[in-house]
């Protein structure tokens, strides 16, 4: 029997990610450099390069869970507290693209023959990945989607074991933090390696830590079947958010097939009829599609003596998108031009616009349209007048592109 997508679970922030349509690593081919030499027609060696992998999640989730996760929130793990990242946050809580940090992703594979118990057959850890892009897409007759892309430099598999992430708090004095379960080791460099690793993705307040510099690990790797202890060079600050991952095969590993017990029952999907777009407080009519894309310009950081990524240099962020409008007549088209540019309809409109407007994309609860689940907000959107892509036997759709002047956006829980 093949490994079915229904048995592969995506977990982050102590919670199953909702409504995932696609999730996983992209091209995992390790870059290889071929070494040759003068006077020898044969290949001397092939040396592994430095990988930069991409993990992508595409979801119908219309709540704030993903952005809350990317900006440092975690959910509850069990019982009455088993809710998603951001569930406990108050209405009007804002999640800014500039506040994203590193996260760990776990992927337990459930045994399809275990039925409702959800026993884990194998696991995968994708440690210390950083969000590099998020894209929201809305269409008049489409399901709303959001896609997150993360970048990192490693990933690990383990058979007959569960993947676990510890979530701990700093005391300002404590340096040693043991794993709750025995940790399985990974042999560095492959089968001939004589050094080991048993803990992955060590994060403190969203920053990736470097082994043998920021912390050391004792146990687990050197003593299979034992717990491992992460010891920091300097004690994490009081209430610092500490996270790290490991594999453990202790006992029967189970994972719930159901997602979190949230006070907000999310819809399976939200259609375009429950998406409203506002510019400077005015609702825009005739919208066919809307897309918001935020990205990070940066590169991974490495250092001598370590095969792992040690961080990511952030050169800048950006946020832009397109609102495509099918105006019912000439008057409606010029009404939109006036709203996005601020120029009176008595004047001529040029191709250049520097006015910024507050763009808000509000997502309603389909079962109760009076409830706003969340709002995407670009407070400094600059729209440019569209072209005229006329086509025979077709209505004309005008694509108004926009840019955030400061290169960011935010999600708001509910309405601002």
Q: DSSP letter string over 296-338? A: EEEEEE--TT-SS--EEEEEEEEEEEEEEE--SSHHHHHHHHH
- Within 347-389, strands assigned E span 357-365, 368-384
pLDDT tops 60 at residue 119 = yes
Residue 51: which residues within 8 A CB-CB, separation 6 or more?
A: 28, 30, 31, 153, 154
8 A C-beta contact, residue 167 and residue 185: no
Give the helix/strand (H/E) hosting 293: strand 287-301
pLDDT tens string 337-374: 999 999 999 999 998 899 999 999 999 999 899 999 99
- 267 falls within a domain: no
> 18 and 62, same structural domain?
yes
> 204 and 166, same structural domain?
yes
Residue range 88-100: mean pLDDT, rounded: 93
Question: What is the maximal distance between C-alpha atoms in the chain?
Answer: 80
Spell 3-25 as b/e; 16+ CB within 10 A means b.
eeeebbbbbbbbbbbbbbeebbb
pLDDT tops 50 at residue 174 = yes
- 164 falls within a domain: yes
- 36 falls within a domain: no
pLDDT band at 262 (very low <50, low <70, confident <90, very high): very low
Residue 16: which residues within 8 A CB-CB, separation 6 or more?
A: 9, 10, 256, 259, 260
- 186 falls within a domain: yes
- 254 falls within a domain: no
Last residue of a domain, one of 232, 248, 264: 248
- 91 falls within a domain: yes
Beta bridge partners of 409: none
> Could you tell me how far CA 193 lies from the centroid of its own chain?
33
> 360 and 221, same structural domain?
no
**CATH classification of the domain holding 383:** 2.30.110
Higher-scoring residue by pLDDT: 16, 128: 128
Task: Report d(CA 33, CA 396) in Å as an integer.
Answer: 51
Helix (H, G, I), strand (E, B) or coil at 87: coil
What total of structural domains would you count in the chain? 2
Please give the backbone phi and psi of residue 340, each rounded to the nearest 5 degrees, phi first: -85, -20
Please give the backbone phi and psi of residue 90, each rounded to the nearest 5 degrees, phi first: -70, 155
pLDDT of 398: 92
> 287 and 202, same structural domain?
no
Task: Report d(CA 14, CA 117) in Å as an integer.
Answer: 19
Other C-beta atoms lying within 10 Å of the C-beta of residue 227: 18
Task: Report d(CA 229, CA 177) in Å as an integer.
Answer: 5
- 253 falls within a domain: no
> 234 and 125, same structural domain?
yes
> 386 and 347, same structural domain?
yes
pLDDT band at 192 (very low <50, low <70, confident <90, very high): confident
The rounded percent of the chain whose pLDDT value lies above 90 is: 54
8 A C-beta contact, residue 202 and residue 244: yes
Containing domain of residue 392, as a range? 272-413
Strand order in the sheet with 176-178: 176-178, 228-232, 215-219
104: left (phi over 0), alpha (psi -120 to 50) or beta: beta
> 124 and 10, same structural domain?
yes
Burial of 268 (0-12, 13-18, 19+ CB in 10 A): exposed
> 189 and 76, same structural domain?
yes
> 153 and 120, same structural domain?
yes
Burial of 2 (0-12, 13-18, 19+ CB in 10 A): exposed
- Measured at the CA of 78, the angle between CA 76 and CA 83, to 5 degrees, comes to 35
pTM of the model: 0.88
pLDDT of 196: 86
The rounded percent of the chain whose pLDDT value lies above 70 is: 90
8 A C-beta contact, residue 147 and residue 57: yes
> 289 and 172, same structural domain?
no
> 173 and 298, same structural domain?
no
> 404 and 343, same structural domain?
yes
pLDDT of 81: 52
- 138 falls within a domain: yes
């Amino acid at each position: 029997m093949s490994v079915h997508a229904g048995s592969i679970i995506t977990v982050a922030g102590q919670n199953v990610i909702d409504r995932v349509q696609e999730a996983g690593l992209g091209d995992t081919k390790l870059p290889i450099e071929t070494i040759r030499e003068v006077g020898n027609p044969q290949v001397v060696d092939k040396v592994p390069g430095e990988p930069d992998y991409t993990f992508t999640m595409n979801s119908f989730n219309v709540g704030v869970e993903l952005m809350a996760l990317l900006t440092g929130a975690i959910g509850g793990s069990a019982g009455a507290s088993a809710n998603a990242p951001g569930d406990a946050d108050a209405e009007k809580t804002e999640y800014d693209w500039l506040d994203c940090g590193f996260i760990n992703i776990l992927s337990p594979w459930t045994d399809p023959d275990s039925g409702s118990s959800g026993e884990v057959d194998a696991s995968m850890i994708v440690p210390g990945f950083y969000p590099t892009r998020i894209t929201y897409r809305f269409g008049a007759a489409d399901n709303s989607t959001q896609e997150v892309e993360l970048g990192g430099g490693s990933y690990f598999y383990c058979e007959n074991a569960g993947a676990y992430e510890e979530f701990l708090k700093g005391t300002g004095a404590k340096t040693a933090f043991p794993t709750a379960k025995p940790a399985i080791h990974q042999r560095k460099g492959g089968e001939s390696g004589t050094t080991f690793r048993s803990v992955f993705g060590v994060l403190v307040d969203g920053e990736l830590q470097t082994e043998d510099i920021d912390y050391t690990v004792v146990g687990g790797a050197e003593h299979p079947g034992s717990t491992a202890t992460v010891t920091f060079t300097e004690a994490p600050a009081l209430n610092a958010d500490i996270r790290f991952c490991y594999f453990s095969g202790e006992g029967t590993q189970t994972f719930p097939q159901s997602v979190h017990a949230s006070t907000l029952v999310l819809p399976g999907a939200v259609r375009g009829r429950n998406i409203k777009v506002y510019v400077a407080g005015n609702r825009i009519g005739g919208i066919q599609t809307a897309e918001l894309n935020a990205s990070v310009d940066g590169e991974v950081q490495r250092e001598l003596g370590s095969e792992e990524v040690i961080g990511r240099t952030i050169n800048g962020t950006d946020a832009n998108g397109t609102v495509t409008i099918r105006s019912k007549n000439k008057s409606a088209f010029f009404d939109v031009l006036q709203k996005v540019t601020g120029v009176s309809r008595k004047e001529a409109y040029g191709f250049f616009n520097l006015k910024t407007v507050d763009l808000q994309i509000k997502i309603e609860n389909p079962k109760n349209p009076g409830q706003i689940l969340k709002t995407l907000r670009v407070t400094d959107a600059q729209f440019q007048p569209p072209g005229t892509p006329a086509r025979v036997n077709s209505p004309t759709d005008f694509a108004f592109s926009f840019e955030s002047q400061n290169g960011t956006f935010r999600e708001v829980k509910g309405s601002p």
